Amino acid sequence: MAKKRHICVVTGSRAEYGLLYWLMKEIDAATDLELQVIATGMHLSPEFGLTYRQIEEDGFAIDYKIETLLSGDTPASISKSMGLAMIGFVDVYDHLKPDLIVVLGDRFEIFSAVSAAMIARVPVAHLHGGETTEGSFDEAMRHSITKMSHLHFTATEKYKERVIQLGEQSERVFNVGAIGVDGIKKLQLSSLKVFEKAIGFKLGKRNLLVTFHPATLEVSTAEKQFASLLKALEMQKDTHIIFTKSNADIDGRIINKMIDDYVAEHPTNAIAHTSLGQLNYLSAMQYVNGVVGNSSSGLIEAPSFRIGTINIGDRQGGRIKAPSVIDCAPDTNSICEALQKLFSKSFGDKLKTITNPHGEGNAAGKILRVIQTYPLTGVLKKKFNDLDLKK
């Protein structure tokens, strides 16, 4: 009988776990694979909701928890957290001895996980490479993770081309679509009554889901930009707002305090959650008029619900966007103009024909088939794929 492949999934945040959930289910159910789980980063922080508990409630056994987060959100504390993560992953890999590590995205704890795997000579499968976020240092993290990875699963054909452009061998790059669409297709989303009870909030005539993070390549802009957004939201009549809080990024705590203060001043039409969880977050998209902020979910998942997205500032600069996305500058006037467009009848009519450029689902199944069968012997050595720039 062939030896089972040990597939180690690393997750450090609520959002990325919500995307990985469906792949983890597929791996766990496969008779020829053994699922290993490492939880790190925000999952282990009381400030960010101790979301490792959700992983366990979903029926997954966490093999190791790696503490990395310090109490600050300064550049120094983020860099030190990356160092702590690398130390922790080195020891864990030595104990687990995985055949393949699976990671998603571009966060700093994932960069540390992959750096340690490279030195430990463990192959890495990376989801969502080739994307761009020009206003965030996630951009450099993502491309660096690509160069340290060995199998690549992208969300669009354009992103596949970019990974190959980075020198990766084309036979190792697979366009499977965005795995976030799997949840939309597979989850039994909540009814309005169940959803309102779950989040402790009644929706109004108009509703917005707001998720805003710092643009980490900009210095000290988070407070000013978010204040502009809050001012624009305050001017919207008959509008209820669901806030999800910022990640553990530089200046993220500034945004979270401003959210708490705003909700305290507007208790009848605003609520904040550290983590809604995948079910409630996607259920919210069924009922809101649009997603507002600078989260990738507004670009990747929201178009599948045929709702609009207001994408503020440069954090998501360079990403592929559906026509449902309204880009605007991070100032109050621009945000108000974008909101006016979002609520207009003509834009609502346009949304009825929107197609999500990130695929139609079943990304997890496509990824599973590759990690079950792709030869891992010799996979650590990569040839650089030179492009003919003279063409």
* Confidence (pTM): 0.87
Which pLDDT does position 388 carry in this prediction? Answer: 78
3-state secondary structure of 285: helix
- 209 within domain boundaries: yes
Residue ranges in the chain modelled with pLDDT below 50: none
Does 301 fall in a domain? yes
Pair (89, 230) in one structural domain: no
The Cα 163–Cα 170 span in angstroms is 8
Angstrom distance (rounded) from CA 75 to CA 91: 25
Phi, psi of 106 (to 5 degrees): -150, 10
Read off the CATH number of the domain in which 313 is found: 3.40.50.2000
Rg (CA), the chain: 21
Structural domains of the chain, count: 2
Residues 135 and 17 in one domain: yes
What confidence tens digit (pLDDT) does each residue in 292-302 have?
999 999 999 99
Shared domain for 337 and 366, answered yes or no, is no
Domain that holds residue 169: 5-179+361-373
**Phi and psi dihedrals of 101, rounded to 5?**
-105, 135
Amino acid, res. 270: A
- pLDDT > 90 in the chain, percent: 76
- In this structure, is residue 386 part of a structural domain? no
Same domain as 223, residue 146: no
Could you tell me if 122 and 94 are in contact, meaning their C-beta atoms sit under 8 angstroms apart? no
Q: How far, in Å, CA of 33 to CA of 67, rounded?
A: 27
Residues 298 and 339 in one domain: yes
pLDDT digits (tens, 9 = 90+) for 329-338: 999 999 999 9
Contact at 8 Å (CB) between 227 and 260? Answer: no
